[in-house]
A and B are shown apart, each in its own frame.
Chain A
């Protein structure tokens, strides 16, 4: 499903964010990508959603070589991959429901469809009662759940979670991880980028360890080893 083939990315003057990285993620997998700060985890996410371009190598998503996508195609690429971030990245002047609806509006879905989809997705993430509140009126956990709802409305085949629990307490973090597992059970490939040892060890799923932009360990039922 996702292939990084000899992917390299450098930042001037001499930072190697990705160094000849090759990996393969299969459909329906739940993969944790772990590593210390600055190891290149977030660069993987950025390259995957077209926020950064590789200096060399390829990233294949299904039949699509996303290293060759034009700037015009990037919005379409981002609608194929659901992404959630550590800082939630919700629009502050829109309610939680409007944030979720916005993702559908940008791809031209009709108001009728949006009216039908948004409440059902909000129900999945447990935010039916908070859907008309603004992000600053709800907790961090609820904001992250809204971000997950927004990522899910496209019904993406891949959900990338970049440090989704970084700003949350342990109870909220556990809830978010459980939600990601639930989404994975429904068939969505989940890529969890984190440096939270406890979460990774409790998951008992595939773990890819990155260090200095290189793949140093890839275990089917792995642990956080650094």
Chain B
């Protein structure tokens, strides 16, 4: 058994080395396919980061009556902060609201002029509530609706809810499209990988027939090809990881600039999960390659 195993490994390695260009072509196709999978994953991460960022910007404001003492406001702020679905409550005083309003409209002299003519600060102080999870926005609204306090002037969550619904709708559609596109791409990649291995075996068909005629058992014929497939897969995964990591290192500064403030850090993402990603890629590619090799060798050894 050990002798057979040794011979299978030897023949597998010999096959890879002595058919160097064929091996190289097969590995290159594998690398291109796995690289495409990594790219697809990166696009998904970037898209998800952008959507999360957009969702995190959605908050609700509770407007307070003017001239209320700071103690009462801070008391309400503490009550709100204790709610289940609240991540953070920020108090925006009347003067801070005015300052922010002026900054937002600094390029609009007519509005600033109108504000000046009023001769007083018309803006109400507010408590801005950030949801713990934007996907549970409705639960947050329900919780906020139950908070009764005489210092509350108004609360209008409907605009934000509509905005969040729209974001959710768009992201759902984008996700659906991404799943379909990814599935199509994955299917194409599986076909490419599957057929490249089958073609590689096809070029060995005469050898397989000869082995059979010399009296080799099916196992003795198939096993070295299966072992070669594992070698192709291993080299392919290692090469892909090396090339993709180098590519990411070059790409990351551009991503940082382009997605400023969006926290899109692909290098960290892949660094922290490289074992899982490489492991899954190896397992997936190995299963496809082994299956393709097994079927192709089986086809030519039926004599």
Contact = CB atoms under 8 A, between A and B. Distances in A.
B118 interface: no
A27 B116 CA distance: 122
A78 B3 CA distance: 21
Interface of A is mostly: loop
A12 B213 CA distance: 24
Nearest to A51: B303
Interface of B is mostly: helix
Interface of B: 3-4, 7, 14-15, 18-19, 206-207, 209-218, 220, 303
Interface stretch (A13-21, A89-97, A164-172): A89-97
Contacts of B214: 78, 102-103, 106, 150
A93 B14 contact: yes
Interface in A81-130: 83, 85, 89-94, 102-103, 105-108, 110-111
A83 B213 CA distance: 8
B207 A49 contact: no
A62 interface: no
Q: Which 3 residue pairs across A and B have the least CB separation, nearest first? A: A78-B215, A106-B216, A79-B215
Contacts of A105: 7
A38 interface: no
Given A105-B7, A110-B3, A51 B211 contact: no
B15 A93 contact: yes
B215 A103 contact: yes
A108 B2 CA distance: 10
Contacts of B14: 93-94
Contacts of B3: 108, 110-111
Given A75-B216, A91-B210, 20 more contacts: A49-B213, A51-B213, A51-B303, A75-B218, A78-B214, A79-B215, A83-B213, A89-B213, A92-B207, A93-B14, A93-B15, A93-B207, A94-B14, A102-B214, A105-B7, A106-B216, A106-B220, A107-B215, A111-B3, A150-B214
Contacts of A107: 215
Contacts of A92: 206-207
A64 interface: no
A93 B19 contact: yes
A133 to B, nearest CB: 14
Contacts of A106: 211, 214-217, 220
A92 B220 CA distance: 18
Nearest to B14: A93
Given A78-B214, A83-B213, A108 B4 contact: yes
B215 A75 contact: yes
A76 interface: yes
Given A51-B303, A108-B4, A110-B3, A91 B217 contact: no
Contacts of B19: 93
A49 to B, nearest CB: 7
A167 to B, nearest CB: 15
A61 B303 CA distance: 20
A106 B15 CA distance: 16
Nearest to A89: B210
B21 to A, nearest CB: 12
Contacts of B212: 75
Contact of B207 (A78, A91, A150): A91
Q: Which of B14, B15, B220 has the most CB of A within 10 A?
A: B220
Contacts of A83: 213
B205 to A, nearest CB: 12
A106 B223 CA distance: 12
Contacts of B7: 105
A94 B18 CA distance: 9
Q: Which of B14, B207, B215, B216 has the most CB of A within 10 A?
A: B215
19 contacts: A49-B213, A51-B213, A75-B215, A75-B216, A75-B217, A89-B210, A90-B210, A91-B210, A92-B206, A93-B14, A93-B15, A94-B14, A102-B211, A103-B215, A106-B216, A106-B217, A107-B215, A110-B3, A150-B214
Nearest to B302: A71
A223 to B, nearest CB: 31
Nearest to A107: B215
Q: Which of B4, B213, B214, B303 has the most CB of A within 10 A?
A: B214
A126 to B, nearest CB: 21
Nearest to B216: A106
Contacts of A75: 212, 215-218
A91 B215 CA distance: 14
